[in-house]
Amino acid sequence: MNRSESKYFNTALRMDEALAALLEKKDFEYITVKEICDAAGVNRSTFYLHYENTRDLLDETVDMVQKRFLSYFDVGGESFIDRLPTASRDELQLITPDYLHPYLSFIRDHRRLYAAAMSRPSDFRSQEAYGAMFRYIFDPILARFSVPVGSRRFIMAFYLNGIAAVISEWLKGDCKEPLEFIADVVISCIPREGENKT
Protein backbone atom coordinates (compact mmCIF):
# COMPACT_ATOMS: atom_id res chain seq x y z
CA MET A 1 0.00 0.00 0.00
CA ASN A 2 1.51 3.34 -1.00
CA ARG A 3 1.38 6.48 1.11
CA SER A 4 -1.71 8.01 -0.55
CA GLU A 5 -3.65 4.72 -0.25
CA SER A 6 -2.66 4.50 3.41
CA LYS A 7 -3.86 8.07 4.00
CA TYR A 8 -7.14 7.31 2.20
CA PHE A 9 -7.79 4.22 4.35
CA ASN A 10 -6.78 5.98 7.57
CA THR A 11 -9.22 8.79 6.78
CA ALA A 12 -11.99 6.25 6.11
CA LEU A 13 -11.17 4.52 9.40
CA ARG A 14 -11.40 7.85 11.26
CA MET A 15 -14.85 8.41 9.75
CA ASP A 16 -15.91 4.85 10.71
CA GLU A 17 -14.77 5.49 14.29
CA ALA A 18 -16.47 8.90 14.34
CA LEU A 19 -19.79 7.44 13.21
CA ALA A 20 -19.50 4.58 15.72
CA ALA A 21 -18.94 7.13 18.51
CA LEU A 22 -21.88 9.26 17.36
CA LEU A 23 -24.15 6.19 17.20
CA GLU A 24 -23.51 5.69 20.90
CA LYS A 25 -25.19 9.06 21.52
CA LYS A 26 -28.00 9.40 18.98
CA ASP A 27 -30.04 7.68 16.30
CA PHE A 28 -28.50 7.37 12.86
CA GLU A 29 -31.28 9.42 11.19
CA TYR A 30 -30.25 12.45 13.25
CA ILE A 31 -26.50 12.26 12.57
CA THR A 32 -25.34 14.83 10.03
CA VAL A 33 -22.39 14.81 7.66
CA LYS A 34 -21.14 17.91 9.50
CA GLU A 35 -21.11 16.03 12.84
CA ILE A 36 -19.24 13.11 11.29
CA CYS A 37 -16.70 15.43 9.68
CA ASP A 38 -16.18 17.37 12.91
CA ALA A 39 -15.71 14.18 14.92
CA ALA A 40 -13.32 12.69 12.34
CA GLY A 41 -11.40 15.92 11.77
CA VAL A 42 -12.08 16.00 8.02
CA ASN A 43 -13.95 18.38 5.73
CA ARG A 44 -17.13 17.68 3.78
CA SER A 45 -15.32 17.27 0.46
CA THR A 46 -13.22 14.50 2.03
CA PHE A 47 -16.39 12.80 3.25
CA TYR A 48 -17.92 12.90 -0.24
CA LEU A 49 -14.68 11.64 -1.78
CA HIS A 50 -15.22 8.45 0.24
CA TYR A 51 -19.03 8.12 0.40
CA GLU A 52 -22.14 9.13 -1.50
CA ASN A 53 -24.12 9.56 1.70
CA THR A 54 -24.22 8.68 5.39
CA ARG A 55 -25.86 5.30 4.64
CA ASP A 56 -22.72 4.25 2.71
CA LEU A 57 -20.61 5.15 5.74
CA LEU A 58 -23.01 3.30 8.05
CA ASP A 59 -22.69 0.14 5.96
CA GLU A 60 -18.90 0.37 6.13
CA THR A 61 -18.97 1.11 9.87
CA VAL A 62 -21.20 -1.90 10.57
CA ASP A 63 -18.77 -4.09 8.60
CA MET A 64 -15.89 -2.65 10.66
CA VAL A 65 -17.72 -3.42 13.93
CA GLN A 66 -18.50 -6.98 12.78
CA LYS A 67 -14.84 -7.58 11.83
CA ARG A 68 -13.74 -6.18 15.18
CA PHE A 69 -16.19 -8.55 16.91
CA LEU A 70 -14.85 -11.58 15.02
CA SER A 71 -11.27 -10.58 15.89
CA TYR A 72 -12.07 -11.39 19.53
CA PHE A 73 -12.43 -15.08 18.66
CA ASP A 74 -9.50 -17.36 17.86
CA VAL A 75 -10.56 -18.62 14.44
CA GLY A 76 -7.39 -20.44 13.39
CA GLY A 77 -7.70 -23.30 10.92
CA GLU A 78 -10.97 -24.65 9.59
CA SER A 79 -13.96 -22.39 10.11
CA PHE A 80 -16.53 -23.30 12.74
CA ILE A 81 -19.26 -23.46 10.07
CA ASP A 82 -17.22 -25.96 8.04
CA ARG A 83 -16.76 -28.15 11.14
CA LEU A 84 -20.49 -28.26 12.05
CA PRO A 85 -21.39 -31.45 10.15
CA THR A 86 -18.59 -33.50 11.75
CA ALA A 87 -18.06 -31.80 15.12
CA SER A 88 -18.81 -33.76 18.26
CA ARG A 89 -21.93 -32.78 20.18
CA ASP A 90 -19.70 -31.35 22.93
CA GLU A 91 -18.05 -29.05 20.37
CA LEU A 92 -21.49 -27.78 19.36
CA GLN A 93 -22.19 -26.44 22.86
CA LEU A 94 -21.72 -22.67 22.41
CA ILE A 95 -22.56 -21.64 25.98
CA THR A 96 -19.03 -22.29 27.25
CA PRO A 97 -16.21 -20.06 28.49
CA ASP A 98 -14.41 -20.53 25.13
CA TYR A 99 -17.22 -18.66 23.37
CA LEU A 100 -18.63 -16.50 26.15
CA HIS A 101 -15.35 -14.91 27.29
CA PRO A 102 -14.47 -13.36 23.88
CA TYR A 103 -18.11 -12.34 23.37
CA LEU A 104 -18.30 -10.68 26.78
CA SER A 105 -14.86 -9.09 26.30
CA PHE A 106 -16.09 -7.44 23.12
CA ILE A 107 -19.20 -6.18 24.89
CA ARG A 108 -17.19 -4.84 27.84
CA ASP A 109 -14.66 -3.12 25.55
CA HIS A 110 -17.36 -1.63 23.31
CA ARG A 111 -20.23 -1.32 25.80
CA ARG A 112 -21.64 1.94 24.46
CA LEU A 113 -21.58 0.74 20.88
CA TYR A 114 -23.17 -2.57 21.92
CA ALA A 115 -25.88 -0.73 23.87
CA ALA A 116 -26.53 1.44 20.81
CA ALA A 117 -26.82 -1.67 18.63
CA MET A 118 -29.29 -3.22 21.06
CA SER A 119 -31.43 -0.10 21.33
CA ARG A 120 -31.38 0.60 17.57
CA PRO A 121 -30.98 -2.78 15.85
CA SER A 122 -32.05 -1.52 12.42
CA ASP A 123 -29.10 0.91 12.32
CA PHE A 124 -26.73 -2.01 12.82
CA ARG A 125 -28.47 -4.53 10.53
CA SER A 126 -28.97 -6.80 13.54
CA GLN A 127 -31.79 -8.80 11.94
CA GLU A 128 -29.63 -9.49 8.90
CA ALA A 129 -26.74 -10.66 11.10
CA TYR A 130 -29.04 -12.81 13.25
CA GLY A 131 -30.62 -14.34 10.13
CA ALA A 132 -27.19 -15.37 8.85
CA MET A 133 -26.18 -16.77 12.25
CA PHE A 134 -29.44 -18.73 12.50
CA ARG A 135 -29.12 -20.10 8.97
CA TYR A 136 -25.43 -21.05 9.09
CA ILE A 137 -24.82 -21.83 12.77
CA PHE A 138 -27.85 -22.22 15.05
CA ASP A 139 -30.15 -24.13 12.70
CA PRO A 140 -27.49 -26.74 11.76
CA ILE A 141 -26.59 -27.20 15.44
CA LEU A 142 -30.23 -27.64 16.43
CA ALA A 143 -30.62 -30.14 13.59
CA ARG A 144 -27.65 -32.12 14.94
CA PHE A 145 -29.47 -32.27 18.30
CA SER A 146 -32.67 -33.45 16.52
CA VAL A 147 -34.67 -30.39 17.57
CA PRO A 148 -37.91 -30.26 15.53
CA VAL A 149 -37.80 -27.61 12.79
CA GLY A 150 -40.95 -25.88 14.05
CA SER A 151 -39.45 -25.37 17.52
CA ARG A 152 -36.03 -24.02 16.53
CA ARG A 153 -36.78 -20.31 16.21
CA PHE A 154 -38.65 -20.30 19.51
CA ILE A 155 -35.86 -22.10 21.33
CA MET A 156 -33.30 -19.67 19.93
CA ALA A 157 -35.48 -16.70 20.91
CA PHE A 158 -35.60 -18.06 24.47
CA TYR A 159 -31.83 -18.54 24.71
CA LEU A 160 -30.84 -15.30 23.00
CA ASN A 161 -33.31 -13.14 24.91
CA GLY A 162 -32.22 -14.70 28.18
CA ILE A 163 -28.55 -14.06 27.46
CA ALA A 164 -29.40 -10.53 26.29
CA ALA A 165 -31.22 -9.89 29.58
CA VAL A 166 -28.18 -10.95 31.62
CA ILE A 167 -25.95 -8.73 29.48
CA SER A 168 -28.39 -5.84 29.79
CA GLU A 169 -28.16 -6.07 33.59
CA TRP A 170 -24.36 -6.18 33.32
CA LEU A 171 -24.37 -3.08 31.11
CA LYS A 172 -26.62 -1.21 33.58
CA GLY A 173 -23.81 -1.61 36.12
CA ASP A 174 -21.22 -0.47 33.53
CA CYS A 175 -19.76 -4.00 33.35
CA LYS A 176 -18.38 -3.81 36.90
CA GLU A 177 -18.64 -7.56 37.54
CA PRO A 178 -15.84 -9.67 36.04
CA LEU A 179 -16.78 -11.21 32.71
CA GLU A 180 -15.96 -14.65 34.13
CA PHE A 181 -18.73 -14.13 36.69
CA ILE A 182 -21.21 -13.13 33.96
CA ALA A 183 -20.18 -16.15 31.86
CA ASP A 184 -20.78 -18.40 34.88
CA VAL A 185 -24.24 -16.85 35.39
CA VAL A 186 -25.18 -17.52 31.75
CA ILE A 187 -23.77 -21.06 31.86
CA SER A 188 -25.69 -21.83 35.06
CA CYS A 189 -28.97 -20.86 33.33
CA ILE A 190 -28.48 -23.27 30.42
CA PRO A 191 -29.05 -26.98 31.07
CA ARG A 192 -26.56 -29.35 29.49
CA GLU A 193 -27.61 -32.39 27.50
CA GLY A 194 -28.63 -35.15 29.90
CA GLU A 195 -28.64 -32.75 32.86
CA ASN A 196 -31.80 -32.31 34.90
CA LYS A 197 -32.23 -28.75 36.24
CA THR A 198 -34.23 -28.68 39.47
- For residue range 130-187, what is the model confidence (pLDDT) as tens digits? 888 888 889 999 999 999 999 999 999 999 999 999 999 999 999 999 999 999 999 9
Task: Note whether 68 and 110 are within 8 A (CB).
Answer: yes
Report d(CA 51, CA 71) in Å as an integer: 25
Report d(CA 166, CA 182) in Å as an integer: 8
Sequence spans of domains, the chain: 3-61, 72-189
CATH (residue range 3-61): 1.10.357.10
Q: What average pLDDT does the structure give for the chain?
A: 87
3-class secondary structure, 13: helix
Q: Running DSSP on this structure, what letter comes out for residue 192?
A: P
What residues contact residue 192 under an 8 Å CB cut-off, 6+ apart?
93
